Amino acid sequence: MKLSKAEEKLMVLIWSNHPLFMKDLLEIHPEPKPAPSTVATLLKRMQEKGYVGYKLYGNSRQYHALVEKQDYFSGQVKKIIENFFSDNPLQFASFFTRKAELTTAELEELKKLVESEIERRNK
């Protein structure tokens, strides 16, 4: 299940700072800061979706990520490839290398990454 934009913003904060209490989340949230009730509602939805868990300390909940950032991002990229590139990763890679405005140095680094992955798979 996908996160909404508001949920993704909170999730990024949780990935970068977890575990944390809601007061901490409100404190580090960039302006404009949402109302505490809004954050509570979003956290409840994120729990129901299986992205966030918590430990109870008295009346306070300390939140932590249940899904790794890399796993979430990977799933989102897969959906983009499915939906916008006819489920063809090569079309995505072609689009990315042409339209991402990468520098020559960045393209060289990308080339090294691809070559390294090919080498790893051939072992």
- For 65-117, the pLDDT digits (tens) are 999 999 999 988 999 999 999 999 899 988 988 888 889 999 999 999 999 99
Q: Would you state the pLDDT for residue 18?
A: 84
Average pLDDT over all residues of the chain: 92
What pTM does this model have? 0.74
Better-predicted residue by pLDDT, 18 or 24: 24
Q: How far apart are CA 90 and CA 79, in angstroms?
A: 14
Q: Would you state the pLDDT for residue 97?
A: 87
Q: Would you state the pLDDT for residue 6?
A: 92
Q: How far apart are CA 58 and CA 15, in angstroms?
A: 24
Q: How far apart are CA 23 and CA 28, in angstroms?
A: 9
Q: How far apart are CA 3 and CA 42, in angstroms?
A: 10
Helix residue spans in the chain (DSSP H): 5-17, 22-28, 36-48, 69-84, 89-99, 104-121
What is the assigned CATH class of domain 5-65? mainly alpha
Other CB atoms within 10 A of residue 7 CB: 17
Q: Would you state the pLDDT for residue 101?
A: 86
pLDDT exceeds cutoff 80 at 1: no
Answer whether 113's CB lies under 8 Å from 93's CB: no
